[in-house]
Structure 1
Amino acid sequence: MYVSLDKIKEISTPLLEENNAFLIELKHLKEKGFDKYLFFIDKETNLTIEDCSTISRLLEKSLVEENAIAENDQIEVSSPGIDKPLKFLKQFSKHLNKKFSITYIDGEVKKTQEMKLIGVNDDTLTFELNQNVKEIKFNNIVFAKTLISFK
């Protein structure tokens, strides 16, 4: 049985929303004798292991009932990880006052800088760079990744 990833996303989106989560990425792997679906999810607040476990059980039940996956298929739910770039505007608010590596379009020029996120307002992110404030529209961001600090 094969159901498209779009169909699986369609079935899973309402369930994720009910649990205040959203899908970052969905991967499908063919294993020997079964399929594995990797759901990378996030929340606007901190995503916990308990959140992932609960959502995993709910997704598996729902997808089996909808005949989108077989009973012996596997589902794994996790956060995308700190090493992954942020893809959606709603991911930024929980990273206030953290340092980012940002690649963005400034006029006609693509720039990459390390800046501290100090605000999220509608579609604009506000960063601090050398005690100066820099506002960047989300749609001008090419790449944004939090930097890990060991301070």
Structure 2
Amino acid sequence: MNIEKRVVELVEEKIADRPDLFLVDVQMHGSGILSILVDGDNGVAISDCVAISRHVGFHLEEENAIEQAYRLEVSSPGIDTPLKSFRQFQKNINRSLKIKLTDGNTKEGKLINAEESGITIQESVKEKGKKAEMIESFIPFENISESIVLVSFK
């Protein structure tokens, strides 16, 4: 049995009545840590993480799904965690992103739209001898290797 697949099922079952919450990632690390990342349209409360942890932990123990000792960690993605899901992009519209492209280039700009096929950012482009111009660029998801929200402390 694929443990990550089973955990996804258990998390989805637990948050089925919470349309504001969504699963971002499940990973069983070689170190014995089973990490679950859950996000929410309006953030995730500690009580949500606790409830998910109890539900998943209870069922994994009942099913004796993991042979070796493991540690279950349920959390929301940190600010420096790359965006992985479409809903995370939607949640971060109007925030600035740093995007690494699959061709090795990097773009920075304000996320102004997210759709199933990709995102649109507004970026400042400066050509030699001219003033910087704000342009909109559409970037298909398959061209993105990593996206991180840029935090401004201004």
The answer to whether the superposition gives a TM-score over 0.5 is yes
Per the TM alignment, residue 150 of structure 1 is displaced from its structure 2 partner at its CA by 1.2
Q: Supply the distance in 2 between the matched residues of 1:23 and 1:124 (Cα, whole angstroms).
A: 17
Gaps of 5+ in 1: 1-5
Whose strand fraction is larger, Structure 1's or Structure 2's?
Answer: 1
Per the TM alignment, residue 73 of structure 1 is displaced from its structure 2 partner at its CA by 4.5
Q: Supply the distance in 1 between the matched residues of 2:92 and 2:76 (Cα, whole angstroms).
A: 15
Per the TM alignment, residue 110 of structure 1 is displaced from its structure 2 partner at its CA by 3.7
SS of residue matched to 2:84: coil
> Are the equivalent residues in 2 in contact too, given 1:86–1:143 (CA < 8 A)?
yes
Note the 1:63-82 alignment, pairs <5 A. Answer: 63-69=60-66, 73-82=70-79
**Number of matched pairs:** 139
State the partner residue of 1:129: 123
CA RMSD of aligned residues (A): 2.4
Q: Supply the distance in 2 between the matched residues of 1:122 and 1:45 (Cα, whole angstroms).
A: 21
State the partner residue of 1:141: 144
| 2:122 maps to 1:119 | no
Instruction: Give the alignment's TM-score, normalised by structure 1.
Output: 0.78
SS of residue matched to 1:87: coil
Per the TM alignment, residue 92 of structure 1 is displaced from its structure 2 partner at its CA by 0.8
Per the TM alignment, residue 88 of structure 1 is displaced from its structure 2 partner at its CA by 2.7
SS of residue matched to 2:47: helix
| 2:15 maps to 1:12 | no
Instruction: Give the alignment's TM-score, normalised by structure 2.
Output: 0.77
